[in-house]
Structure 1
């Protein structure tokens, strides 16, 4: 008996869509930022910095709860405590600062690294 396998559509490259290209570029910039500050790259650092950068682009700063809520909206399962610890470490390293309002924002030098044009 002949059992033909259905043909599967060709897999698309993850960078073929504009949205994926933007994410990839953003992650490259965040990886460069972490390298400049001598920090290892981790998924949680990438996501937390991306959340802070997104808030910064909208002209605001956000607290631990805001970062955690942003990550939950993206279906990224990180605990509140993990987010808080990453924010503390980024503060200690001078990547971000904590304001009197208990909100975090990118330091100007970190923002400059993230806003550098990427080479393609």
Structure 2
């Protein structure tokens, strides 16, 4: 790959759109469900799994279940993706509203 190709690839990476949305984490061993929101839904699982594997997840209930039962009983499920036309100013509010609605619907805890 020459320099021009690298520059084009870097520019394309910077211009890619990230999707914000709501997700659920489920523990099959206990039946517990946690709902959270993210500005980068596509990469959220990777970051969450990393923190759980290293024992540094901010949610102590999720960390305790992960430590007790292991990675194999956990699943990550995207629930809803925000429309692309939501303004950057309103994303945070929309994510909070949608995650609250999903927590109520699933009788889930906050992540």
Q: Which TM class, normalised by the smaller chain length?
A: under 0.3
**Higher strand fraction: Structure 1 or Structure 2?**
2
TM-score by length of 2: 0.28
* Larger Rg over CA atoms: 1
TM-score (norm 1): 0.27
